[in-house]
Amino acid sequence: ASTPSAQLRARVLAEVGPSPLPPLAMPLRPERGALWRRAGIAAAIALVMFGADWFAHARSTPAPQQAVRYSYAMRSPSGQLVQFTGVEGSERVTVTMDGI
């Protein structure tokens, strides 16, 4: 009770003779788990390459030479001028009002 593939292999060996090449190290049709494992490895490699490229780009992008300063002014309901000045990203804001 040999399988059709074994019968075909025996017939080919009888007609052609043994192959001079070594047998394949991996099966031609890997099991389903192996395919998922290979897909996972390929995705992990792609993520690592993307992350490395992103990190290299972030390190090579020059930082701004001078921080962006801002200044806003408005009048209070009583008519006083109020000014807010500071640097973007800083926690410190300077507030000045008329006469103070």
pLDDT along the chain (100 residues), means of 10: 79 78 62 76 89 75 67 82 82 76
pLDDT at residue 28 in the model? 59
At residue 78, the pLDDT reads 79
Cα distances from 56 to residues 51, 59, 61, in angstroms, run 9, 5, 9
Residues sharing a CB contact under 8 Å with residue 73, sequence separation 6 or more, in sequence order: 81, 82, 83, 84
Rounded-to-integer distance, Cα 92 and Cα 73, Å: 17
Give the per-residue pLDDT at 22.
Answer: 66
C-alpha 24/C-alpha 20 separation (Å) is 12
